Structure formats: C-alpha cells, structure tokens
Structure 1
Amino acid sequence: MNFSMRRVNALFKKEAKDLSKNINVLFMCLLPMIFCIMYSKLFCDSQEGKLYILNMCLNMNFVLVSGLTIAMMIAEEKEKNTLRTLMLACVSPLEFLVGKAIIILLLSLGTNILMFFIIGMEFSYLGHFIFITTLVVISMMEFGAVVGIIAENQMSTGTIGMPFFMIILIIPLFAKINDACKIVANFLPNCNMEILLNRIFTNEHINMNFTYSIAIILGWIIMGAGVFAYAYSKKRLD
C-alpha cells in the first residue's frame, strides 16, 4: 500500500480539531510546564540543580504528553467507532501513526523547548537538546499508541499504560541509589537521554558510551514501530 500524505493530512487536521475540544488532554499537556515553573524557582541555583529539574520535567512530559495523550486520543477513536472506519478505509499503520503523532510531537517538542528556556540552559546546547529529546518523544509516542490500540476506552488507558510509564518515570529517580534500578536504567531511552544531556551540558567528550546511548534509543524506536504495526494489524483483523 502506498503512503498517502493526503490521508495523513486529513488525520492531522482531525486530531488538531479534536484536541482543541478535549480539556483533559490539554490539562495533561500543561502539567509538565507548571511543575517546571514551580521547581525552577526553588532548585535552579546550580547547574546540577538545573539538570535534575530539567530531566525530571522531561520524563513527566514523556509520560503525560508523548505517551498517555496519544493513547487517550486513539482510545477516543474507539469510543466514537471511528477507528474501525479508518481501518476499513485501508489506512495503513504508518499513515495512522504519523497522522496521530504529528500534533503530539509538536506539543511535546514545544513543551521541551519552553522548559529548556525556563530552566535557563545555554542557547548553544539547544540543537543537541532538540535532536536527542525528539528521538525519545518518538519512542514514547509509539508505545503510547500501542496502549491506545489495546485499551477499550480512555479510562482504561491509564490502567493498561500506567505500569509501563511509571517505570519510565520512576527508574531514573532511583538509578543512582539502587543497583537493580541502575541495571534497568541502562536499557531505557529516557535514562540514556539523561546520560547524553548531562555529558553535553557539562562539555564532556563524545565517546563510545554516547554511541551506545543513541543505539538504545533508536532500538526503542524500531521496537515500538514493530509492536504498533503488529497491534494495529491484529486489531484490523479482529
């Protein structure tokens, strides 16, 4: 099946319109920004404090916006019985995911960039910051989309997706004090993002660990795309 930008554009316009009417989703998008503003007034006296708050708020954004928001949007399609229509209209998994994800990608990246400036990071790091956080956002959106496909409705997205997203949110907080969490953190995209950003912001040299962290994040993107394609195809058959 050929990839159709026309179908993707139609899905994007539909999502932008639906999102503007969904108060719950809009509130979730604002939460990382609110916490970032609050914490920046309290703990941003040092570079270390800035990095800690930025990483924590980024993880919150990955969970609430990149992950759960797209899950709720897809589950809403199921509640309205429009997901079945899209599948029967021969919309491919890639077209469906891209059409849904563009608006979430823009929201997530916009939030990340605003938090970057709220924390007060140096402008020279912005390019590296956008590149690395974009990769993690993509991986989280893919797994959020899987949750949305599996869930029966918007309420169940939290029940199904929260165990996974809580691991993403909590593991970085305990990786420095618990050996088991540290081992798990080595294989999580957001934890490897933290390693990369900490090295970039402290002007450390790029080495093999940099390559390893990028490879882990790309691996999550590939794995997420495969899992979503399978879940979408299975749902279409059902």
Structure 2
Amino acid sequence: MMTTFSMKRVNAIFVKDWKDLQRNSYVLFTLALPLFFAAWLGRIGADSAEMIAFPIVFALVIAGAFVQAAMVAEEKEKNTLRGLLLSPASVTEVFVGKSLLSAVSTLVVVVGCIWLAEFNVPSLPLFALSILLGLIFFLAIGTLLGLLSRTVMETSIIGMPVMVIFGMSSMFKSMITNETILTVLDYLPNELLTKIWVGLESGTAVGESFLFLVLWAVGAIAATVIVYRKRRMD
C-alpha cells in the first residue's frame, strides 16, 4: 500500500511537469538544439565516438541540467515549490518525480542524436551505463541550480559556467598549456564520458573513467540533497 501511494505521488509530480512542459516554448526549443548539431555531424559523415560525443554531452547538459533547473526554478517562481517541499513526499519521491520528465526528455534527445548522426554504438550495455551515470550527474546538477536560482531567467545566468565547464571544456583544451589544469579537465564528467565512448570504440580499458564518473554522480546527489534539506528547513 505504501509503495502504491508513493508511486502515485511520483506520478502526480510527473504529470504536473508534463503539462507545464507543453506550455513552455523556451524549454522545447532548448531540447531541440543538440539534435541540430547531431544532424549536422550526420550530414558531414562524422560518425566517430569522439565527434558524436559533443552533441550527446550537449544533450545531457542542455536537456538534463538546464531543463531540470528551469523546471525547478519555475516551481519557485510560481511559489509552488514550497508546497512540494512541505508535502509528505520524501526526498527520494520528490527527486524522482521532478527528474523523471527531464530524464525521459534527455534520453529521447540522446537517442535522436545517435540516430541523426548515424553513430554505431559500441558495446551497448556499457554505453547505456555511461549515459545513465551522466544523466544522474546532470539531473542532480540541474536540480541544484534550480534550488539555488530565484527565477527561470536566473538559471541561465548561473548555469552558464556549468555549460562552459561541463559541456564545452574540450574546446578550450588546445588553448591551455598548464599541465595541472589539463589534468583537472581530463577528470570532468564530460571528458570521462568521451574517454569511455572512445575507449569502447577502440577496445581500450574504461574502468577508471567509470569509477570517477560514479564519484561525480554520488557527489552531485549528495550536494543536491544537502541544499534541498536546507531549503526545506528554511
């Protein structure tokens, strides 16, 4: 009985978010951006893991983090998040309910990117696991940004460093000469995902990259839970 009731609460949050998403043209447009990049890569015949990594990571950043942040911040802007924080729903139920639509949207966009870019996925189970870990990390970051933002517009401002660091850092590596900074960049989630996909394609070991990706995901969840509980107490 308790499980059924919990699932009903999760479903109620999901349905509410789905109705809000249908009215939000900004979010719908944002979701389409990675698909344009993937379609362009498909047209020029760039089907290697290193090339397709950009639109897929971009999808995780945009659809996972930004959309999630916008949806949480919109709740705050409409003063409906307070009711959710004070509701009987547990932390897990709130997180799953608020993340479910963003997760589904992100996975649809990722699959769309793979299809448009005509990418042959290497080792599907491990590739899917890496996508799942990346999705968990970026959804947690998105929830954290949403909790820290006062308005939807503010998520774009404070979320910009997230997009630059976690989504576009590989573009700046050629301009950096400091070895310490380059080493740090190599262990960012987006770089770890790229290493995993390139490694799966070439047949090299990817265990270390998976380990660090798990640590990033756990750390992001922990930070989000701490901020969520603080907001709930406030």
TM-score (norm 1): 0.89
The Cα shift of 1:9 comes to: 1.2
The corresponding residue for 1:68 is: 66
Give the alignment of 1:40-189 within 5 angstroms: 40-44=42-46, 50-122=48-120, 125-175=123-173, 178=176, 179-189=179-189
- Distance (Å, rounded) in 1 between the aligned partners of 2:175 and 2:131: 25
CA contact (8 A) 2:72 2:146 kept: yes
Instruction: Flag structure 1 segments of 5+ consecutive residues without an equivalent.
Output: none
Q: Secondary structure at the match of 1:220?
A: helix
Give 1:113's aligned amino acid. Answer: V
Change (3 A) 1:154 1:8: same
Q: Report the Cα distance in structure 1 between the residues aligned to 2:174 and 2:107, rounded to whole angstroms.
A: 27
1:51-79, CA deviations, whole angstroms, 9 ceiling, x for partnerless residues?
Answer: 33311111211221110100000000011
CA distance in 2, matches of 1:65, 1:128: 21
Question: Could you tell me which amino acid in structure 1 is paired with residue 188 of structure 2?
Answer: L
List runs of 5+ in structure 2 lacking aligned partners: none
TM-score, with length taken from structure 2 = 0.90
Instruction: Please provide the CA RMSD for this pair.
Output: 1.9
After TM superposition, the structure 1 stretch with the greater mean CA deviation from structure 2, 4-13 or 172-181, is: 172-181
Q: Is the 8 A contact 2:134 2:213 kept in 1?
A: yes
- Residues 174 and 181 in structure 1, CA contact (< 8 A), matched pair in contact too: no
1:127 aligns to what SS in structure 2? helix
Q: What is the CA–CA distance in structure 1 between the aligned matches of 2:35 and 2:54, rounded to whole Å?
A: 11
